[in-house]
Structure 1
Amino acid sequence: METSWMCLRALLAVAVVISQGVICNGHPCRRTCEYPAAPMTCEYDFVAEWYYSMSKACYNCPINKTDCLRPHCIPLNGVPRPIAVINRLLPGPSIEVCYGDQLIINVTNHLDNNEGIAMHWHGQHLKDYQHMDGAAMITQRPITYGSTFTYEFPAKTGGTHWWHAHSGLQRADGIFGAMIIRYSERDDPHSDLYDDDLSEHTVFLTDWLDEITMQKFAAHHHDNGDNKAEAMLINGKGKRQVYMDGNDTYYTDREVYYVEQGMRYRFRMMSNAITFCPMQVSIDDHRMLVIASDGVPFEPYETDVLMVYGGESFDFILTANQTIGNYWFRVKGLGDCTVKDASGLAILRYQGSDEVDPSKPESYQAADSDAPENWGTILNPFNKEASEREIPIYYMNSTEPDDITSERIDRKIYLAMEFNKIDNPRFHHPDNYPISAIAVNHHLYSTQVNDVSFTHASAPQLTQHKEIVDEICTPETLQSKNCSTEFCSCTHVHEVGLGEVVELVVIDEGVTWNSNHPMHIHGHSFRVVAMEKLGVSTSVEEVKALDEAGGIYRKLHRAVKKDTVTIPDGGFSIIRFYADNPGFWFFHCHLEFHLEIGMSVVIKVGSDDDMPETPKGFPRCGSWPHSYTPATQAPCPSNEISAANSMSQISWRLLKLTFILAMILRK
């Protein structure tokens, strides 16, 4: 019986992984990483298109569960709606390589309506490959419809990361996927803490809308539609819409994570939060040993609850030390996600247990209780002051040695964020329907940084910055304006010198709403040296005065290293980075609606003379070749292997065979 169960579990795991597109048709770069390194060239083909969940490819899904696993069937949570996808997968294909591998990703744009697209490799610093960052209208012009653009760069920022569209709202409609860059066992400082690091233990979280994102965006910003998520997906799965067959009810499946009692597993988790939706993660009767964030390891910390904000990733170890059975893997959406109870559930299933739902109620969650014995610890809490149970992320101790950021500051920049009540002509016509003349429920408060709403220039800054000088504003050029009373919108740039240590004091003034903003930087990681919630609200003047009076403690020794950090409402986070990567780097809120209407700045590292030379033939505004491949490719390792990343008919046949064998074993 035990042998049959092990075979069944293995077959089902293979089936699930294939159906999710995780192993990508056996991509050879998904392997155990060696020491010394044996780099490979890893090629992927990404095709972007508009598609539909619960499409005709799904036949009779979910009434016939095997139909849900057909090629091109994307069930999601059972709600049919338009989706934007890569290779008809959601999440998209998982890139899993070893540190030092050379990545070649051919992105072909088949999005309808002639939409452009750019692909960002979230967490990759891309030093010497700045043009591959994929931030539309900052590092490149979007890829035009029918064209192919080849991204090529070495995997030199290890750990758990992800990729996503960085053009318009496409990330919110489905264009995202995992990007895991593993180390050899010798190079991984935590390799002795776990037994398995499996693709099937990837956890991709996203709040989800019942309708196309632009429809909700337009209704909210131009009328009184809401901006709240209806659901939560875990690895693109959920249980929401009911289907009937006679008197029987059916739902799409939730994600299932298989474990064996006594084993220790490394889970890799990412948040693609698109609305104001902090995610509270817990696993019934299990604790999480958190070991890394945004790809960078820190001293292990055991917690009951882990808060994850948009753009963040975390690695944790789960020890399967409970009674054999099924346990809920819970993701509770907070913030705006509480309005429609946008939460998600997956199942942690032990080898030898029945295929049934866990016994605890779906609605139960220990952290909901006020009883201290039920609360436990919360790492990375949401808008809470530090306490014995609520542990800010900056309390963690990095395993990486201190660097120059602990020794000095060359430039300090205060960035104050707020929702401002001001006549933004994009949403409030100053003559026809000014914000002062309409009902409160039709107000649109503008997301701004230092009273400025960011807008993109007419050409990418990295490649054509000398042509768009008049469109760029800096703190110096803004001094002649009163942006607190008149609407200011421009390509907002802060310039820092190459080689400077930069400290950003990022403040969420918190006057309008109790919100929060996960801020993400491109091209660098930073040290989180301070974080504090001061009250219901604050101001940049209050924080400056507190700082000048020596009232802010900075943790400089072994400060945790990240690329995305939450800014507490009515408080601040202070980050430091070494500006050693010349270029134009986006620093922005990672919530899609906040980003779309201006909560961002660009940090220009270096002078014009320091900027990298634009590759020969690189697309420009005013011209676009049908396809672009780097003219001078990086040297390829001697053992290069390339493989396309797409589901094939062979995969589907293997999937059907797997389920036939599984049914035989069950009997």
Structure 2
Amino acid sequence: MQLLSSVLLLALLKPHPLRGAVVRPVTKHITLDIVNGHVAPDGFSRSAVLANGTFPGPVITANKGDTLVVKVNNKLTDNTMRLSTSVDFDGVFIDTPGIYDEGSPFVTTCPFGPGTSYTYTLPLGTQTGTFWYHSQLSMQYADGFRAPLVIYDPADPLAHLYDVDNENTILTVADWWHNSTIPLLQSYINTQIIPVADAGLFNGAGRFNGGPKTKYSVVSVTRNTRYRFRLINMSARSDFMVSIDNHTMTIIEADGVATTPHTVNILDMLAGQRYSVVVTANQPIGNYWINTVLGGGNPARNLNLNVTLGRGVLHYAGAPNAEPTTPMTLGPANPIPLVEGDLRPLVPEVPPAPDFNLTFVTSMTANASSPSGFNTQWNINNVSYISPVIPTLVKILDGANSAADFNKTENTFVFPANKVIQVTFPPSDEDELHPFHLHGNNFWLIKSNASEPNFVNPIRRDVAGAGSGGTIVRFTTDKPGPWFFHCHIFWHFNVGLASVIAGGLEETREQVHPDDAWDALCPAYNALPEGEKR
């Protein structure tokens, strides 16, 4: 009891707006205007797709138990990029039966065109942690439509480890292209050469070779204070090696799931992954480089790219307002890297035994006569995913009962409700890890690439890399409906590296009753001129 009282007293002393008072769930109304506008995060000005006119878009915050009501107004006009849109709230899953508001085009919904709006209702339930939202339509989020989303826990069991956790401690990394993704995607389809980013960005700022010396993003700290930094990789392709000169990072969250504190000084983040790390400002007052080194693609294919220039500055109060005088490096001289398989959940949990086992073999082929019509396509078990005209959920609500009711190219796997599914990605000779992301749920990461399997207390998360060492994930079908399970390298995703996990089709029909606004999406989208469907 004395220990509990001490923890509660510490929580009340922390300068976080949620602590020290009972926080009752509320409904938060948010409006996002999706517009075209010019931005120059690395000094090169280009037209982009922007939420409320900014890149990254506005941070959405909520508390545990809140309901988010997000009205999205499509005001896009620049036809060099996608004019329709659809929003995915990455990692947020809905536990409320009968509510199914998830923006996966042609799986759970249809996109909506310019001059129209759609409102997403997201009861957050018991979820807490670090998430983000982005366009799920084609490559649109690489044109700019991406931003953080954080669900705070007023009773965070790890609150005693940090002093500050607010919007200023949300940190993002992202890759950035100077050209619209429409011609870039077409070039990839034609040539098999995946586009290499022009720059890496930290908190929406960076530089490219030969470009102007734009101002790096500055993260201000006070000496002897502990900060919970929420790191989000919002890339469309790239992984980032993250470190802070002379500082360690204690990981306490992975993809919205609390972990046992685990200290490193450098960590690799795949596209779509999120971590919370505690950093203590315990060094002499000064300025220190935040290193975010971009990986993914040969810089020789894009001479604009300098992988070390997407970085930031950790600025101590009392230090000069200047860049660090130390050299820019790739990270610590004596690295203590994150080994993902070493992470453990804060609340241990033995994964249930699988009821069904799948093996996903990923491969790339060049085949101009393929059903997709792509010269370049990625496959799962020799099937390249192609979006159906009628969304998967519509087919289920209309009576689809088995995998045979879906086209082969929909790559849809059907299971009963409340079963445990294990997916094994065998070892491969590919150079690049595929960050596979599950919608609607997270998974137990039984085997993390090169690590040994852990059947006792593996972490749960929603993005994990499949590659050379082999990966095993396990999840349940306790949320009825169809859920995307795809590579978060969106160039790969858009040429077929995707699947759909459909659980409990009869339960879906019993529980999911979309409203009139959802019913109207597909007829309205199908009636759009071809140029506005893009």
TM more than 0.5: yes
Question: Per the alignment, do residues 457 and 192 of structure 1 end up closer, same or farther by CA in structure 2, a change over 3 Å counting?
Answer: same
Find the partner of 2:513 among 603, 606, 614.
Answer: 614
Residue 232 of structure 1 corresponds to 200
Tell me if structure 2 keeps the 8 A contact 1:463–1:620: no
1:584 aligns with 2:482: yes
1:501 aligns with 2:420: yes
Q: Equivalences for 1:442-591 in 2 at 5 Å?
A: 444-465=375-396, 474=403, 490-507=409-426, 509-510=428-429, 513-533=430-450, 554-568=453-467, 570-591=468-489
Residue 523 of structure 2 corresponds to 623
Question: Per the alignment, do residues 624 and 31 of structure 1 end up closer, same or farther by CA in structure 2, a change over 3 Å counting?
Answer: farther
* Equivalent residue letter for 1:397: R
Tell me if structure 2 keeps the 8 A contact 1:418–1:509: no
Residue 217 of structure 1 corresponds to 185
Tell me if structure 2 keeps the 8 A contact 1:37–1:100: no
Q: Which deviates the most, 609-618 or 116-125?
A: 609-618
Cα distance in 2 between the residues matched to 1:212 and 1:555 = 43
Question: Per the alignment, do residues 210 and 621 of structure 1 end up closer, same or farther by CA in structure 2, a change over 3 Å counting?
Answer: closer
Q: SS of the counterpart of 1:490?
A: helix
Tell me if structure 2 keeps the 8 A contact 1:77–1:237: yes
Residue 24 of structure 2 corresponds to 38
1:271 aligns with 2:233: yes
Gaps of 5+ in 2: 1-15, 526-534
Q: Equivalences for 1:180-199 in 2 at 5 Å?
A: 180-184=150-154, 187-199=155-167
Q: SS of the counterpart of 1:220?
A: helix
Residue 283 of structure 1 corresponds to 244
Q: Could you tell me how far 1:419 is from its partner in structure 2?
A: 1.4
Which whole-Å deviations, capped at 9, do the CAs of 1:125-155 have from their partners, x for residues lacking one? Answer: 1133653111111111112221111111222
Q: SS of the counterpart of 2:134?
A: strand
Residue 146 of structure 1 corresponds to 115
Tell me if structure 2 keeps the 8 A contact 1:266–1:318: yes
Tell me if structure 1 keeps the 8 A contact 2:447–2:453: yes
* Equivalent residue letter for 1:502: I
Residue 162 of structure 1 corresponds to 132
Tell me if structure 1 keeps the 8 A contact 2:98–2:513: no
Tell me if structure 2 keeps the 8 A contact 1:79–1:241: no
Cα distance in 2 between the residues matched to 1:424 and 1:519 = 27
Residue 371 of structure 1 corresponds to none
Cα distance in 2 between the residues matched to 1:532 and 1:45 = 40
Tell me if structure 1 keeps the 8 A contact 2:99–2:513: no
Residue 284 of structure 2 corresponds to 323
Tell me if structure 1 keeps the 8 A contact 2:196–2:296: no
* Equivalent residue letter for 2:275: F
Q: Could you tell me how far 1:221 is from its partner in structure 2?
A: 2.0
Find the partner of 1:419 among 353, 364, 373.
Answer: 364
Q: Could you tell me how far 1:620 is from its partner in structure 2?
A: 4.3
Which whole-Å deviations, capped at 9, do the CAs of 1:410-429 have from their partners, x for residues lacking one? Answer: 11111111112444547878
Tell me if structure 2 keeps the 8 A contact 1:49–1:111: yes
Residue 544 of structure 1 corresponds to none
Q: Could you tell me how far 1:82 is from its partner in structure 2?
A: 1.7
Cα distance in 2 between the residues matched to 1:105 and 1:170 = 19
* Equivalent residue letter for 2:438: I
Question: Per the alignment, do residues 263 and 414 of structure 1 end up closer, same or farther by CA in structure 2, a change over 3 Å counting?
Answer: same
Cα distance in 2 between the residues matched to 1:621 and 1:86 = 21
Question: Per the alignment, do residues 259 and 449 of structure 1 end up closer, same or farther by CA in structure 2, a change over 3 Å counting?
Answer: same
Which whole-Å deviations, capped at 9, do the CAs of 1:360-382 have from their partners, x for residues lacking one? Answer: 112x2345xxxxxx232111xxx
Question: Per the alignment, do residues 622 and 193 of structure 1 end up closer, same or farther by CA in structure 2, a change over 3 Å counting?
Answer: closer
1:135 aligns with 2:119: no
Residue 342 of structure 2 corresponds to 395
Tell me if structure 2 keeps the 8 A contact 1:462–1:584: yes
Tell me if structure 1 keeps the 8 A contact 2:41–2:205: yes
Cα distance in 1 between the residues matched to 2:317 and 2:458 = 39
Cα distance in 1 between the residues matched to 2:496 and 2:194 = 19
Cα distance in 2 between the residues matched to 1:129 and 1:593 = 33
Cα distance in 1 between the residues matched to 2:271 and 2:62 = 24
Residue 439 of structure 1 corresponds to none
Find the partner of 2:146 among 163, 176, 180.
Answer: 176
* Equivalent residue letter for 2:36: W
Gaps of 5+ in 1: 1-29, 54-74, 244-249, 368-373, 380-390, 430-443, 479-487, 534-551, 626-667
Residue 13 of structure 2 corresponds to none
Tell me if structure 2 keeps the 8 A contact 1:129–1:153: no
Tell me if structure 1 keeps the 8 A contact 2:130–2:150: yes
Q: SS of the counterpart of 1:217?
A: helix
Tell me if structure 2 keeps the 8 A contact 1:459–1:468: no
Cα distance in 2 between the residues matched to 1:424 and 1:326 = 56
Q: Which deviates the most, 195-204 or 261-270?
A: 195-204
1:50 aligns with 2:36: yes
Q: Could you tell me how far 1:314 is from its partner in structure 2?
A: 0.4
Q: Could you tell me how far 1:36 is from its partner in structure 2?
A: 4.1
Question: Per the alignment, do residues 580 and 622 of structure 1 end up closer, same or farther by CA in structure 2, a change over 3 Å counting?
Answer: closer
Find the partner of 1:357 among 319, 323, 339.
Answer: 323
Cα distance in 2 between the residues matched to 1:493 and 1:168 = 19
Tell me if structure 2 keeps the 8 A contact 1:230–1:342: no
* Equivalent residue letter for 1:461: T
Q: SS of the counterpart of 1:623?
A: helix
Tell me if structure 2 keeps the 8 A contact 1:131–1:140: no
Tell me if structure 1 keeps the 8 A contact 2:341–2:452: no
Find the partner of 1:409 among 330, 350, 354.
Answer: 354
Q: Percent identity?
A: 24
Cα distance in 2 between the residues matched to 1:359 and 1:200 = 24
Question: Per the alignment, do residues 281 and 622 of structure 1 end up closer, same or farther by CA in structure 2, a change over 3 Å counting?
Answer: closer
Tell me if structure 2 keeps the 8 A contact 1:298–1:560: yes
Question: Per the alignment, do residues 279 and 264 of structure 1 end up closer, same or farther by CA in structure 2, a change over 3 Å counting?
Answer: same
Tell me if structure 2 keeps the 8 A contact 1:402–1:557: yes
When Rg is computed on C-alpha atoms for both structures, the one with the higher figure is 1
Q: Could you tell me how far 1:279 is from its partner in structure 2?
A: 0.8
Cα distance in 1 between the residues matched to 2:29 and 2:405 = 45
Question: Per the alignment, do residues 348 and 426 of structure 1 end up closer, same or farther by CA in structure 2, a change over 3 Å counting?
Answer: farther
Residue 254 of structure 1 corresponds to 216
Residue 378 of structure 1 corresponds to 337
Cα distance in 2 between the residues matched to 1:34 and 1:561 = 29
Q: Could you tell me how far 1:607 is from its partner in structure 2?
A: 2.4
Tell me if structure 2 keeps the 8 A contact 1:303–1:378: yes
Residue 173 of structure 2 corresponds to 205
Question: Per the alignment, do residues 192 and 33 of structure 1 end up closer, same or farther by CA in structure 2, a change over 3 Å counting?
Answer: closer
* Equivalent residue letter for 1:320: A
Find the partner of 1:294 among 255, 260, 276.
Answer: 255
Cα distance in 2 between the residues matched to 1:468 and 1:230 = 47
Question: Per the alignment, do residues 138 and 366 of structure 1 end up closer, same or farther by CA in structure 2, a change over 3 Å counting?
Answer: closer
Question: Per the alignment, do residues 222 and 422 of structure 1 end up closer, same or farther by CA in structure 2, a change over 3 Å counting?
Answer: closer
Segments of 4+ moved more than 6 angstroms = 426-429
Find the partner of 1:347 among 305, 313, 321.
Answer: 313
Tell me if structure 2 keeps the 8 A contact 1:229–1:342: no
Question: Per the alignment, do residues 398 and 337 of structure 1 end up closer, same or farther by CA in structure 2, a change over 3 Å counting?
Answer: farther
Q: SS of the counterpart of 1:90?
A: coil
* Equivalent residue letter for 2:42: N
Question: Per the alignment, do residues 144 and 508 of structure 1 end up closer, same or farther by CA in structure 2, a change over 3 Å counting?
Answer: farther
Q: SS of the counterpart of 2:57?
A: coil
1:333 aligns with 2:303: no
Tell me if structure 1 keeps the 8 A contact 2:352–2:420: no
